[in-house]
Chain A
Amino acid sequence: MDVDLLTGNLVRLLAIDVEQDPRLLSEWDRDSEFQRLLNSESAARYNPKQVREFLEKEIDSMHFYMIQRLEDDRKIGLIDLNGFDWVSRNAWVGIGIGERDFWGKGYGTDAMKVLLRYAFTVLNLQRVTLNVFDFNQRGYASYKKCGFREEGRLPGALVKAGKRCDLIFMGILRSDWEELQPTTNEKE
């Protein structure tokens, strides 16, 4: 059975290339809005060598994927699974579309759907968890579309551009995800 589980309708997920991709990741960080949407900590700049060292250090404990457009094979973002708890079968997901031109066009949602399919049908996870910041309404809507539910928020937990914002916690259970999958009849 040769099924490409890491390809969706708009994107495919690729294993990270520690030789080539750090340059791209370092460039995306130049857009501070991208960083503020992605990281709870302060925005900062890291050169490709630093990014590569980080990836090499974490690559055994995290699943890093580059998000590649099907249309032209361009790498436009990254998605990762981290913080695996293999007893409770939970992992955390992080995602960012680094190329601003491709924000709000469904690439992130497609990448997340691909990752969830992989998480539940290959890794046999029971739930996937994420954090999103309250000003990231586009991200929040995308996660809801993928089946995540808000499970609460820490009020005023983070400071972005001098303003306090809420840290939102979202999660999707395998049962939530299964309910969203088309039945055999619907597929036909």
Chain B
Amino acid sequence: MFTTQLFESQSLLLDPYDPEKDATMEAGFTRRWNYIWGSLLYSESHPLSSFQVKKKREEQLKRCAESRDSFLFAIRLREDERFIGVVELPWVSWSNRLAWMKVLIGEESLEVKYLREAARMGLRYAFEELDMALVASSTGEFQPQVLHTLQSLGMQVCVRQRQMVYFQSRYWDRLVVGISQSDWQTNNWED
């Protein structure tokens, strides 16, 4: 009846986030500025300890379970189930059928290889399971590879917030990208 596996792709699994196991690994990822900036773990971007990540993620999982207006998945490699990052829908507005999405991969080499596949799974979940009308995401102009990947999935730059992010002694623009369900379906973003 259903031919699509929502939580599996060619190389990746969308798995439950396990604070006991994953927080230590993720704490290491927060040394990478692109990761910690993109994450919603802390308002200021700085490397976090395992204790901090575990505490934040446990709070987030509690909110996810109670409110049902946010979702958090661990991204794992199918071959060895190694934790490599997260897919988050930090805010789902049911009345507007609008979701925000964040996809974070902990290492640059893995990001090059798997960001698109992971983002595609996040979009598929938001559209095909949650029936969102629009999914939006944001990135900084200092992350052209992330922007390029999101655009390759059909997301379009809708907003350019001037000088919204301070990093390495200068201000950068923050970009908001979005894709509607009809665009997702029309273009049938199957690889």
The answer to whether B162 and A171 have CB atoms under 8 Å apart is yes
Interface string of B148-184 (1 = CB under 8 A from A): 0000000001111111111000010000101010000
Shortest CB–CB separation between residue A156 and chain B, in angstroms? Answer: 6
Closest Cβ of chain B to A161, distance in Å, is 12
Q: Quick one: given A154-B176, A157-B134, are A86 and B44 in contact (CB under 8 Å)?
A: yes
Q: Is the CB of B162 within 8 A of A158?
A: no
Say yes or no: A173 contacts B96, CB within 8 Å.
no
Q: Bits for B7-28, please: 1 = Cβ < 8 Å to A, else 0.
A: 0000000000000000000000
Which of A8-16, A17-25, A52-60, A87-95 binds B? A87-95
Docked CA distance A154–B171 (Å): 23
* A171 neighbours in B (Cβ, 8 Å): 161-162, 164
Determine if B67 is an interface residue (Cβ-Cβ < 8 Å): no
**B93 interface residue per 8 A CB criterion:** yes
Whether B43 pairs with A153 at a CB distance below 8 angstroms is no
Cα A87 to Cα B165 with chains together (Å) = 8
Q: CB distance A129 to B134 under 8 Å?
A: no
Q: Determine the residue in chain A with the shortest Cβ distance to B156.
A: A155
Q: Given A152-B176, A154-B134, decide whether A87 and B162 contact each other with a Cβ distance below 8 A.
A: no
A154–B178 contact, CB under 8 A? yes
In the complex, whether B98 has a CB less than 8 A from a CB of chain A is yes
Is B133 among interface residues, defined by CB-CB distance under 8 A? yes
Asked if B95 is at the interface (CB within 8 A of a chain A CB), the reply is yes
- Taking a contact as CB atoms under 8 Å apart, the answer to whether A127 and B162 are in contact is yes
A26-74 residues with Cβ-Cβ distance < 8 A to B are 40-42
State how many residues of chain A have any CB contact under 8 Å with chain B. 27
Contact of A151 with B98 at beta-carbon distance under 8 Å, contacts A87-B44, A169-B176 already known: no
Query: Which residues of chain A come closer than 8 Å to B166, judged between CB atoms?
Result: 87-89, 126
Bound complex: CA A37 to CA B160 (Å): 23
Given contacts A151-B159, A151-B160, A169-B159, contact A126 B171 (CB under 8 A): yes
For residue B165, which residue of chain A has the nearest CB? A88
> What residues of chain A lie closer than 8 Å to B93, measured between beta carbons?
40-41
Report the Cα distance A88→B166, complex, angstroms.
5
A 142-163 contacts with B by CB, 8 A: 149, 151-159
Which residues of chain A come closer than 8 Å to B60, judged between CB atoms?
A: none
Chain A residues whose CB sits within 8 angstroms of the CB of B163 once the complex forms: 126-127, 173
Q: Does A4 contact B (CB under 8 A)?
A: no
- Cα A85 to Cα B176 in complex, Å, equals 17
Is B52 engaged at the interface, CB distance under 8 Å to the other chain? Answer: no
Judge whether B39 is part of the interface by a CB distance below 8 angstroms. no
Please pick, from B45, B95, B133, the residue contacting A87 in the complex, using a CB distance under 8 A.
B45
Which chain A residue has the least Cβ–Cβ distance from B46?
A87
Binary A-proximity of B133-144 (CB < 8 A = 1, otherwise 0): 110100000000
Choice from B162, B171, B178 contacting A155 with Cβ under 8 Å: B178
Q: A156-B134, A158-B96, A169-B161 are in contact. List 4 more A-B contacts (CB 8 A).
A: A85-B43, A88-B171, A155-B178, A171-B162
Q: Which residues of B contact A (CB under 8 A)?
A: 43-45, 93, 95-98, 133-134, 136, 157-166, 171, 176, 178, 180
Q: Report 22 cross-chain contacts, Cβ distance below 8 Å, ordered by A residue.
A: A40-B93, A86-B43, A87-B45, A87-B166, A89-B166, A126-B163, A126-B166, A126-B171, A127-B162, A127-B163, A151-B159, A151-B161, A151-B162, A152-B159, A154-B98, A154-B134, A154-B136, A155-B134, A157-B98, A158-B96, A171-B161, A171-B162
